[in-house]
């Protein structure tokens, strides 16, 4: 998938792409209004710069991607209340999948529901703010072409933007936030070890694909464990991305949006970081996926102590920040702004979230990311 992004960048001319006016994704059409250049400062009372609008458009797209993936988790593993704040729910859910998730924490269903509602609110708010300022909004619904879970409890006919059934989960957040000596901003070439190496070396479902995935029990629990580690691996991105973009925002209200939504992403990340540590150690009998006991000293990677790796250590360890000549500091990491959007898109792509998506989708997301990365603070 990373190669797909690189190839797209090399062969697509940005201007000619934008001026085409429409993008067709497996028969779905996205209006040309989404692809036009952003008009600068056109609202009477403090319009947005092109950079501010580009930042918000990219974040709006990511929030819609998040609402799409979280809704799939909510359908099968979230609370099924009536009425629901979430569109299409209740779907009935999967009782056995929900029970497997609850082995990580008894409140998983409620947390999944609430996280999903948060992402819907973020996308809706950012789009509404863009529209109020006279800037183009973002709608990825034309790219909802992927078939989702066919297990009972899912909305089987609904098409999706994201793929949760072939995940390659990056679990390096575990070591990144436990390291006392390394910071990706100061050590860009350091490879943080994976907490669950198998998850990063294969393709595994985070939700039951069909009812055949509901047994044997250790297979279903492995799917729930995969979801448990996928949750923080998604939310760690937003935790970094909002402060990255805040450093480039110009409009005071845009800065306020970034500084207000960003901390909720950090709340999500820490919650899911805590729950992932409760994933039961096991080996999936159907594919060999192994979840080790993370509190076992033999599973601690080089450079970390047993205390650093323990599962209840979920608050960021102090690490070098800005300069190694300064004292270590407990921080969000990374927050360097260079290539923030492209890096976030590459990270999500490498996790397999977009397996099966059209080239048009990758083209569109690359252009949103490129525009966002060009943003600079203006006086």
Alpha-carbon span 145 to 142, nearest angstrom: 8
- The helix/strand/coil state of 323 is strand
Residue 264 within a domain: yes
Alpha-carbon span 167 to 200, nearest angstrom: 9
CA-to-CA dists, residue 78 to 27, 93, 121, 133, 154, angstroms: 31, 7, 17, 35, 11
CA-to-CA dists, residue 243 to 26, 260, 353, angstroms: 35, 10, 23
Alpha-carbon span 171 to 176, nearest angstrom: 9
pLDDT in the model for residue 16: 35
pLDDT in the model for residue 307: 84
Q: In this structure, what are the phi and psi dihedrals at residue 289, rounded to the nearest 5 degrees?
A: -60, 125
83 or 118, greater pLDDT:
118
Residue 379 within a domain: no
Residue 229 within a domain: yes
Give Cβ neighbours of residue 341 (< 8 Å, ≥ 6 apart): 58, 241, 368, 369, 370, 372, 373
State the pTM of this model: 0.89
What tens digit of pLDDT does each residue of 97-133 get?
A: 999 999 999 999 999 999 999 999 999 999 999 999 9
Residue 296 within a domain: yes
- Which pLDDT band holds residue 30 (cuts at 50, 70, 90)? very low
Structure tokens at 50: 């092109």
Looking at residues 11-35, what average pLDDT do you find? 35
- The helix/strand/coil state of 120 is helix
Percentage of the chain exceeding pLDDT 90:
84
pLDDT in the model for residue 305: 87
Residue 90 within a domain: yes
Element (H, E) at 270: helix 252-276
The range of the structural domain enclosing residue 208 comes to 2-373
- Is the omega angle on the peptide bond into residue 216 within 30 degrees of 0, that is, cis? yes
Residue 28 within a domain: yes
Q: Using CB atoms within 10 A of its CB, is residue 106 exposed (0-12), middle (13-18) or buried (19+)?
A: exposed
What tens digit of pLDDT does each residue of 32-54 get?
A: 333 333 333 333 334 899 999 99
- 179 DSSP 8-state letter: -
Please count the structural domains in the chain. Answer: 1
Average pLDDT of the chain, as a whole number: 90
Alpha-carbon span 254 to 265, nearest angstrom: 17
Radius of gyration of the chain (CA): 21
Residue 80 within a domain: yes
CA-to-CA dists, residue 373 to 247, 261, 336, angstroms: 12, 19, 12
**Cβ distance 16 to 35 under 8 Å?**
no
Residue 321 within a domain: yes
């Amino acid at each position: 998938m990373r190669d797909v992004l690189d190839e797209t960048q090399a062969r697509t001319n940005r201007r000619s792409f934008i001026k085409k006016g429409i993008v067709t994704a497996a028969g779905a059409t996205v209006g040309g209004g989404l692809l036009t250049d952003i008009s600068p400062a056109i609202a009477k009372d403090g319009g947005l710069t092109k950079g501010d609008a580009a930042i918000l458009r990219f974040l709006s797209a990511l929030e819609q991607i998040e609402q799409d993936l979280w809704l799939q988790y909510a359908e099968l593993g979230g609370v099924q209340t009536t009425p629901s704040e979430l569109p299409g729910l209740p779907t009935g859910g999967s009782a056995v999948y929900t029970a497997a998730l609850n082995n990580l924490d008894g409140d998983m269903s409620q947390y999944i529901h609430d996280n999903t509602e948060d992402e819907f609110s973020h996308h809706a708010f950012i789009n509404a703010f863009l529209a109020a300022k006279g800037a183009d909004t973002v709608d990825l619904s034309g790219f909802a072409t992927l078939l989702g879970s066919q297990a009972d409890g899912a909305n089987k006919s609904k098409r999706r933007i994201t793929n949760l059934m072939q995940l390659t989960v990056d679990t390096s957040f575990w070591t990144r936030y436990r390291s006392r000596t390394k910071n990706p901003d100061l050590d860009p070439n350091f490879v943080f070890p994976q907490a669950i190496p198998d998850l990063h070396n294969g393709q595994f479902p985070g939700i039951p694909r069909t009812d055949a995935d509901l047994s044997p029990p250790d297979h279903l629990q492995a799917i729930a464990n995969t979801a448990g580690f996928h949750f923080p691996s998604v939310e760690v991105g937003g935790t970094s991305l909002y402060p990255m973009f805040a450093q480039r925002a110009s409009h005071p209200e845009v800065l306020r949006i970034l500084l207000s939504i960003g901390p909720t992403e950090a709340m999500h990340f820490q919650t899911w970081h805590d729950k992932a540590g409760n994933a039961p150690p096991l080996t999936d009998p159907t594919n060999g996926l192994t979840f080790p006991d993370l509190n076992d000293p033999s599973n601690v990677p080089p450079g970390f102590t047993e205390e650093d790796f323990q599962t209840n250590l979920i608050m960021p360890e102090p690490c070098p920040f800005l300069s190694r000549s300064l004292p270590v500091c407990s921080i969000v990491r990374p927050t360097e702004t260079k290539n923030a959007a492209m890096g976030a898109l590459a990270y999500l792509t490498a996790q397999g979230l977009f397996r099966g998506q059209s080239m048009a989708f990758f083209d569109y997301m690359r252009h949103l990311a490129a525009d966002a990365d060009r943003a600079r603070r203006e006086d």
